[in-house]
Structures are given as C-alpha cells and as structure tokens.
Amino acid sequence: MHLSRLVETPTWQALATIAVWRGGLGILLGCLWSRHRSVWGVPAVHTAVNSLILLPVVLG
C-alpha cells in the first residue's frame, strides 16, 4: 500500500497496486463515513488494513 513496501517490484506494478489499494480503501472508507458518521470507524479500518502487512510476521 505504501511505496516503501513495493520497492522490489517494477514501477508500473507498484503504481497499479497503490492505485487499486488506495482506490478500493477510499471507496470503502467513504461509504463507511457516509452511512455511519463514526469518528472512530474510519481510523480503525485504516489501521486494520495497514496492519495486514504484519500478519505474515506474526503468524510465522
């Protein structure tokens, strides 16, 4: 999701991955905000999605 995580990939692939992740996450968070107007919901989902990169490290 962030460019530093995609250094080993070609530039076009890194940009495409960022666009898909950010676009999809933006739509999801926008829908969440428009339906629930929750102050904590958007940051919680954003943190959870960004923490997915740590899942392989934790699981082993």
pLDDT for residue 11: 77
Domain layout of the chain by residue ranges: 3-59
**What secondary structure letter does DSSP report for 37?**
-
- Over residues 2-57, the pLDDT tens digits come to 555 556 777 777 777 777 777 888 888 888 888 888 778 888 887 887 788 777 77
Q: What is the pTM of this model?
A: 0.53
pLDDT for residue 4: 56
